[in-house]
Amino acid sequence: MSANTSLLDLYLDATIIANPVERSTVIQNIVNVLKEYSLDKKYEIKMSDGVLLLLTVENGSLSAVLRTHLNGLITLTLEEGSSSSFLTNIGVEELRKRLNKAVQKRVDRIPILKRGLEVPNYFSSSDERIFEYDFDKLVFQADSPFQNVKILHSPTFGNTLFLDDLQNLAESDLSYTHGLMKYGELSYKDQEILILGGGDGGLLHELLKEKPKFITMVDIDQLVVDACREHLRGACFDSLDKLKGDNYEVIIGDCVKKMDEYMKEGKMFDFVFSDLTDIPIATEPEGELWKFVKKIVTMALQVLKPRGRFLSHATGIGCVDALQEYEKMLRKLPTKVEFRSHSAFVKSFLEKWVFYEIWEI
Amino acid sequence: MSANTSLLDLYLDATIIANPVERSTVIQNIVNVLKEYSLDKKYEIKMSDGVLLLLTVENGSLSAVLRTHLNGLITLTLEEGSSSSFLTNIGVEELRKRLNKAVQKRVDRIPILKRGLEVPNYFSSSDERIFEYDFDKLVFQADSPFQNVKILHSPTFGNTLFLDDLQNLAESDLSYTHGLMKYGELSYKDQEILILGGGDGGLLHELLKEKPKFITMVDIDQLVVDACREHLRGACFDSLDKLKGDNYEVIIGDCVKKMDEYMKEGKMFDFVFSDLTDIPIATEPEGELWKFVKKIVTMALQVLKPRGRFLSHATGIGCVDALQEYEKMLRKLPTKVEFRSHSAFVKSFLEKWVFYEIWEI
């Protein structure tokens, strides 16, 4: 890393910010604390909601932006070119305590952000919370005709697959696959199964252990399958080594087209799994996410035998609105369905993920 | 939340930054992109490693600091007073793409940071990586004579105990307790056990299930015990409801003093657990962490029966130096010991935690 950013939040009262005299006193107190770090005011701008100050040390190597907000918050953002001097968590905690003393109000410190990391490590949860991973190596990266495919290595999660920078599956994520399968609650023995997506091979590997009659997996992206066969073996094991076995076949193709064919042929399954990425990949211009998601579940229900089950992952438990929207969509399907949701903590997602079991009534 | 901060990193070449003409061209390209967002240059400072620019929109409500770094990195930090306008992950992703097009080099986006959160949600891992939790409620907060005690609620982890803002245990963290116990590998049946710390009651509860002869737990902080009895019941269950039972006793006191007494009495145990916080609490001025850690393990070994086991948590697997230091310390103890380490992924820590089993030889 080659630069650090540190954020501090000072929780003052709105009345202090609204009153120019009080505001200027409190800002002077903060400026005085920053002066102890050789930060001097260089520029000030009046804003609709108060003021914005730029402070730097003499040679500019450490800078700070201080700004007020109408609700009483004062944000302070420090930046430094080198990681070797002031901007460490210990150093900023000391500053936080001094600021706390100076303003006599709550002051929060957000842990140091590292800029210019060699291996990308900042990603978000489904509900847009930031996580800093411990990826130490870019194992694989390439662009397929459909998406950017990346595999990063982490000491905590093993190799981890990203599609268009969205977290997909890590070698540690058996709980994801078991969550999707409702492991232990449903029996796959002698069943006919269709997997939509699932190119990482994790679900295929786990389902094969259950002695199904036949699994057909349809993933659009050859590159994902090839990359996972080589670099995600802790999830797919040997299940992608051959694309066709006694009781399974991996088809590289568009699952929508494939389901169309199955409908025409009258081919039906006991279980259909949706293991597509959150942002779905369609070869036709399908429009937005919801349209596509609805299309998938509608088609899947049509290739299900009576009493068959559609199993799908949804999103993180924090995405309350999206989950409600999904259930609303299920209730409005052309076919009348019942559904049950369940959740599992997925290590590399660092969140609880929600899954659905859906069936026609 | 009342403000947002967004960080972008542009990976240029060091030679571009070193050359004033090339540098100024590339900066002009970036400034032109920012102009599309009504951000205008307000102030510029020459630095030892290039330049620092402050840009704002007319009324100052959106601001940006752009700075160059000698290794070729250009950091861009945007801040905005309201969460309702430009600074969303989707909005900034669009900007990232435009910058990427303008500079024709890698541009990374760090997910939006939320300023002024009502419930504190930014904490770090043991190796100082930032995590944004989903705490939605401050369940309990008070200062004891020893530390700040906080219990926060998360939909993902349940209630979670923080001591001096350090993550201690969540109701979801059975893997921590089982890791510390080497669950399934060691037998506690009919054994005499001493727990140092452990005020959250998680370890006490799990050990009681194993039908030990007697457990003595010595925690210094009555407030922790009281708070966990009420608010961390998913970890301690009913084990803290009474401080004394048929086969256990919870003593509120200093475990160092207590071990001194045991040594004088000649009282010994089959197992001693160290379940003290990372930053240890000593009533005497013990000096730094390592001195205290060494003292604890030295004393614990002295109150262990022959073939007894000392079990301790250490830190996250990312803290390679600290773990090496710990093992170095173990090798230099006055008593000759052997040890084995193992690890477990602790959900609410969002990292793998390392534990030690130590015994005299």
CB contact under 8 A, A108 and B117: yes
Nearest by CB: B63 against A42, A65, A127 = A65
A200 classed as catalytic = no
Chain B, nearest residue to A45 by Cα: B60
Domain that holds residue B56: 3-115
Inform me whether the pLDDT recorded for B279 exceeds 80.
no
Looking at the fold, whether A320 and A209 belong to one and the same domain comes out as yes
Looking at the fold, whether A200 and A133 belong to one and the same domain comes out as no
pLDDT bin (cut points 50, 70, 90) of residue B85 is: confident
Q: How far is A344 from chain B (nearest CA, A)?
A: 10
Task: Please report the pLDDT score of residue A222 as a whole number.
Answer: 97
CB contact under 8 A, A48 and B63: no
pLDDT bin (cut points 50, 70, 90) of residue B86 is: confident
- Indicate which CATH number applies to the domain containing A56: 3.30.160.110
Nearest by CB: B113 against A70, A110, A131 = A110
The alpha-helical segments, DSSP class H, found in chain A are 14-18, 20-35, 89-103, 174-181, 202-208, 222-231, 233-236, 255-265, 289-302, 320-331
Inform me whether the pLDDT recorded for B348 exceeds 80.
yes
pLDDT tens for residues A227-238?
999 999 999 999
B55, B130, B165: best to mutate for the A interface, most A CBs within 10 A: B130
Looking at the fold, whether A64 and A98 belong to one and the same domain comes out as yes
Mean of the pLDDT values across residues A81-103? Answer: 87
Q: Which of A130, A150, A167 is the last residue of a domain?
A: A167
Chain B, nearest residue to A344 by Cα: B156
> Of A258-272, A314-328, B313-327, which has the strongest mean pLDDT?
A258-272
CB contact under 8 A, B43 and A46: no
Nearest by CB: A116 against B73, B115, B129 = B73
Q: Report the candidate in B126, B173, B133, B181 with the shortest Cα–Cα distance to residue B153.
A: B133
Inform me whether the pLDDT recorded for A307 exceeds 60.
yes
Task: Please report the pLDDT score of residue A285 as a whole number.
Answer: 45
Compute the distance between CA of residue A61 and CA of residue A79 in angstroms, rounded to an integer.
8
Task: Please report the pLDDT score of residue B211 as a whole number.
Answer: 98
Looking at the fold, whether B204 and B286 belong to one and the same domain comes out as yes
Percent of chain B with pLDDT over 70: 96
CB contact under 8 A, A133 and B131: no
Q: How far is B243 from chain A (nearest CA, A)?
A: 33
Nearest by CB: A7 against B115, B132, B347 = B115
The one catalytic residue among A134, A238, A275, A278:
A275
Q: Which of A136, A167, A198 is the last residue of a domain?
A: A167
Cα–chain-centroid distance for residue A132? 12
Strand order in the sheet with B62-68: B40-47, B50-56, B62-68, B73-80, B3-11, B107-115
A57, A65, A157: best to mutate for the B interface, most B CBs within 10 A: A65
Looking at the fold, whether B275 and B214 belong to one and the same domain comes out as yes
Q: How far is A124 from chain B (nearest CA, A)?
A: 6
- Indicate which CATH number applies to the domain containing A159: 2.30.140.10
Task: Please report the pLDDT score of residue B28 as a whole number.
Answer: 97
pLDDT bin (cut points 50, 70, 90) of residue A49 is: confident
Mean of the pLDDT values across residues A311-329? Answer: 93
Task: Please report the pLDDT score of residue A23 as a whole number.
Answer: 94
pLDDT tens for residues B42-59?
999 988 778 999 999 988
Chain A, nearest residue to B127 by Cα: A134
Compute the distance between CA of residue B98 and CA of residue B246 in angstroms, rounded to an integer.
69
Beta pairing partners, A355: A313, A342
Looking at the fold, whether A33 and A111 belong to one and the same domain comes out as yes
Strand order in the sheet with A3-11: A40-47, A50-56, A62-68, A73-80, A3-11, A107-115
For residue A79, the chain B residues in CB contact (below 8 A) are 65, 67, 75, 77
Tokens coding B82 = 């309201």
Looking at the fold, whether B203 and B336 belong to one and the same domain comes out as yes
Count Cβ–Cβ pairs < 8 Å, chain A vs chain B.
194
- Indicate which CATH number applies to the domain containing A269: 3.40.50.150
Looking at the fold, whether B93 and B50 belong to one and the same domain comes out as yes
CB contact under 8 A, A352 and B67: no
Which residue would you say has higher pLDDT here, B82 or A68?
A68
Looking at the fold, whether B205 and B98 belong to one and the same domain comes out as no
Q: How many domains does chain A have?
A: 3
Chain A, nearest residue to B353 by Cα: A156
CB contact under 8 A, A75 and B115: yes
Looking at the fold, whether B222 and B339 belong to one and the same domain comes out as yes
Task: Please report the pLDDT score of residue A38 as a whole number.
Answer: 95
Nearest by CB: B43 against A43, A132, A345 = A43
Cα A247 to Cα A71, A188, A192, A211, distances in angstroms: 63, 13, 9, 9
Looking at the fold, whether B220 and B342 belong to one and the same domain comes out as yes
Inform me whether the pLDDT recorded for A214 exceeds 60.
yes
pLDDT bin (cut points 50, 70, 90) of residue A84 is: low
For residue A352, the chain B residues in CB contact (below 8 A) are 155-156
Looking at the fold, whether A162 and A175 belong to one and the same domain comes out as no
Which residue would you say has higher pLDDT here, B182 or A279?
B182
For residue B63, the chain A residues in CB contact (below 8 A) are 52, 65, 67
